[in-house]
Amino acid sequence: MATTLQNSITTNVHREAASIIQIENVGHSYGRRAALNGVSFDVRPGEIFGLLGPNGSGKTTLFRILSTLMLPGSGRALIAGFDAASQPDEVRRRIGVVFQAQSIDIKLTAAENLWHQGHLYGLRGPLLQERIAEMLQRVGLSDRAKEKVQTFSGGMQRRVELAKGLMHRPSVLLLDEPTTGLDPGARRDLWLYLQELRNQERVSIIITTHLMEEAERCDRLAILSSGQIVALGTPAELRSEIGGDVILLEAEQPESLASRIEQRFQTKAQVLDNRIRMERRDGHKFVTDLAEAFPGEIQSLSISKPTLEDVFIRRTGHRFWTEQEQQEEQK
Amino acid sequence: MAQAAVTPASAALPRVNPLLPAFTLWWREIVRFYRQPARVVGVIISPLLFWVVIGAGFGTSLQLQSTGQGNYLNYFFPGALIMIVLFTSIFTMMSVIEDRNQGFLLSVMVAPVHRSGIVLGKVLGGTTLSAIQGLLFLIFAPVIGIHIGLEQLLLVVLIVFLVAFSLTALGFAIAWRMESTQGFHAIINLFLIPLWLLSGALFPISGASRWIKWLMEINPLTYGLDALQLVLFPETHPPTTLALLPSIAVLTAFTAVVFFAGFLIVNRRSTLPAA
């Protein structure tokens, strides 16, 4: 125990100084199917870190390892310097976890759910009562404290879930696809809470998502594909690597047109889902050139600033949703 | 080199006393029980129904010499009590499967709770419910002429508690890895009935054939039933395998073994998803 502790302190100092979570070369497989392959990244205190990836990319596996529910096949995950595999209790004391699936007891009231949760973390007596009131107020449910959770809307249940995860004031909050099944309003509210938490209490937040617009709101993010990190950085950094605009073009015979465009303009033109996709600087000028060069062949044409999906396509060579659908077919 | 911002030493958080989580899980079990009126009604009505229908039916059509009590209804009384406790104990642990499917178990598993606290809380919850149901059955004792003194009552409570606790722990250990309540039913039915039949609840061990006798002797439930017979019928009880105190000792040892097995099952962490 003492040696392990010593080791982790040393590792901490030698690595990037201010990281609260260190994922080191984590690999995992279920039987023969590899779910994670050599994943490494750091999370800094007080940042919202996103794990973006299609279903089956390894997000949930990583989440299970971080939340101490599962041992990693190889590598290690450190939270506040503690190894999630060998010091699970130290890690558990410091993390709040919000699962994708519901974990609240709908037969109990909101306050009762928090009461039980507090006990699991050693809170009791007046301190516990105080904390319950504080958490309910924070998520705007003070007036519904004594009502059974089964009468709540989906958004309200999620808020109880969040309050539950925050009862013991964790320094790290882990959220697995927390906005699943929420309407846009409830989704926006949840994000406001998360940002408030980061700004006011410097809680470090790891959030998994398969939604681009959510990933955009993270301070930094890692994009996962087939168990590997394909991109890591702030959303702006990732988008800027595209270096220009993204042009999408529909045509009768996309393959032949793509190769002719490549010959003529010395640019890369990729066919994805029957559309030709190109990345160009000064896209608006290029679009005019294209239209003049191939009159009558272009059915539609769009030009846009790069999105995170464009980053994904650039790094993996295929579309985000295609991978997801393939994964679902395999199941 | 900069100092690490977060070192393990900086955050000495208090340890969680495992009794607090155990208490909270136990209480949740009780609350969930009394919020479902159907279950409450079942607990009170089923012993009554059971006693009247089966006991009376058997009592008039069967007269066993070897029970040593002449009246079969008397012999059957402790057996019926054990049966009520047996079924209720094991089936309360279906809540483990529900907790897993409803996600509640996940949030317990990521809490810094010693795993023995989780087992203790869940098992005590089930034990409380089944022991209460078993003890309610004692109300019928005077009807068949059994008069229970205070000392007897305390012994009966102890025996019923031990039987209920060990069987609930057994149900817990079986339910932990189960994904569906149907699967749980299938497994439980495989040995629930034999366990009961071979405890001496229906027929006394003295009249059994050699290999049945042997099976009855390794059945821990036999000693629970023996103990009950000895306490309820100090004068006229049928022949038992062991005396009262050794019987209670065997029961206690069995309880400890099953509880520890449950703890080991919950405490195991692997590279497969837990809960």
Instruction: Kindly report, residue by residue over B5-47, the tens digit of the pLDDT.
Output: 444 434 456 777 889 999 999 999 999 998 888 888 887 787 7
Q: Which architecture does CATH list for A243-305?
A: 2-Layer Sandwich (3.30)
Helix (H, G, I), strand (E, B) or coil at A209: strand
Q: How many CB pairs under 8 A join A and B?
A: 133
Asked if residues A70 and A64 have their Cβ atoms less than 8 Å apart, the reply is yes
Q: Are A11 and B4 in contact (CB under 8 A)?
A: no
C-beta of residue A57 within 8 angstroms of C-beta of residue A226? yes
Give, to the nearest 10 degrees, the angle between helix A254-265 and helix A283-293. Answer: 110
pLDDT on residue A284: 83
**Nearest CA among B206, B240, B219 for reference residue B64:** B206
User: Given a cut of 70, is residue A34 above it in pLDDT?
Assistant: yes
Model confidence pLDDT, tens digit, residues A286-316: 888 888 888 888 888 888 888 888 888 888 8
pLDDT score recorded for residue A5: 47
Give one DSSP letter per residue of B102-154, joined into a string: TTHHHHHHTSS--HHHHHHHHHHHHHHHHHHHHHHGGGGGGGGT----HHHHH
Of B4, B102, B113, the CB nearest to A120: B113
Ranges of chain B with pLDDT below 50? 1-11, 65-66
* A164 touching B (Cβ < 8 Å): yes
Q: Which residues contact A222 (CB under 8 A, 6 or more apart)?
A: A41, A49, A50, A51, A52, A229, A231, A232
Q: Cα dist. B251→B11, B123, B159, B247 in Å?
A: 44, 16, 8, 6
Residues 42-61 of A with CB under 8 A from B: 45
Of A210-219, A222-231, B56-65, the least confident: B56-65
> What integer pLDDT is reported at residue A111 of this predicted model?
96
| Alpha carbons B5 and B103: distance in angstroms, whole number | 34
Cβ–Cβ below 8 Å for B8 and A18: no
Tell me what the mean pLDDT of segment A232-246 comes to.
86
Contacts of A62 in chain B (CB under 8 A): none
A122–chain B Cβ distance below 8 A for any pair: yes
Residue A173: per-residue pLDDT: 96
Q: Does A31 touch chain B (CB under 8 A)?
A: no
In this structure, chain A runs to a length of 331
Q: Cα angle vertex A290, ends A286, A291, to 5°?
A: 120
pLDDT value of position B137: 85
Interface check A16 vs B, CB under 8 A: no
Lowest pLDDT segment from A7-16, A241-250, A305-314, B155-164 = A7-16
| Domains A2-238 and A243-305 agree in fold | no
| Nearest CA-CA partner of B196 in B89, B53, B83, B93 | B83
How far is the alpha carbon of B191 from chain A, nearest alpha carbon, in Å? 32
Tell me the chain A residues in contact with residue B107 when contact means C-beta distances shorter than 8 Å. Answer: 97, 99, 103, 117, 120, 164
Q: Could you tell me the two tokens for B95?
A: 């809540």
Mutate to test the interface with B, among A103, A127, A174 (most CBs of B within 10 A): A103
User: Token pair for residue B191?
Assistant: 């040995």
Residues of chain A found within 8 Å of residue B15, distances taken between Cβ atoms: 122
CATH of domain A2-238: 3.40.50.300
pLDDT at A102: 87
- Per-residue pLDDT, averaged over A164-187, amounts to 90
Q: Does A22 touch chain B (CB under 8 A)?
A: no
Please determine, for residue A12, whether its predicted confidence score (pLDDT) is greater than 50.
no
B173: closest CA of chain A, how far (Å): 19
Which residues on chain A are in Cβ contact (under 8 Å) with B1? 13-14, 17
Per-domain boundaries in chain A: 2-238, 243-305
What number of other Cβ atoms are within 10 A of residue A288's Cβ?
A: 9
- pLDDT bin (cut points 50, 70, 90) of residue A15 is very low
| Set of chain B residues whose Cβ sits within 8 Å of the Cβ of A16 | none
Q: A91 burial class (0-12, 13-18, 19+ CB within 10 angstroms)? A: buried
pLDDT attached to residue B96: 94
Which pLDDT belongs to residue A88?
A: 93
Of B2, B104, B111, the CB nearest to A105: B104
How many residues would you count in chain B?
A: 275
Residue A327 reports pLDDT greater than 60 = no
Contact between A92 and B112 using a beta-carbon 8 Å cutoff: yes
pLDDT of residue A146: 94
Q: For all residues of chain A together, what is the average pLDDT? A: 86
B12 touches chain A (CB under 8 A): no
The pLDDT tens digits for A253-281 are: 888 888 888 888 888 888 888 888 888 88
Per-residue buried b or exposed e for B17-44, using 16+ beta carbons within 10 Å of the residue's own CB: ebebbbbbbbbbbeebbeeeeeeeeebe
Chain A contact for B30 (CB, 8 A cutoff)? no
Q: A107 contacts in B (CB within 8 Å)?
A: 31-32, 35
Half-sphere exposure of B162 (CA within 13 A, CB side): 24
- Indicate the domain borders of chain B: 17-267
**Binary contact (B8, A80; C-beta < 8 A):** yes
CA-wise closest residue to A272 among A320, A233, A331, A306: A320
pLDDT reported for residue B274: 62
The verdict on B65 touching A (C-beta cutoff 8 Å) is: no
Q: Please check whether residue A103 touches B, CB under 8 A.
A: yes
- What is the maximum alpha-carbon separation in chain A? 78
Q: Which residues in chain A have Cβ-Cβ distances shorter than 8 Å to B108?
A: 120
ipTM, two decimals, is 0.84
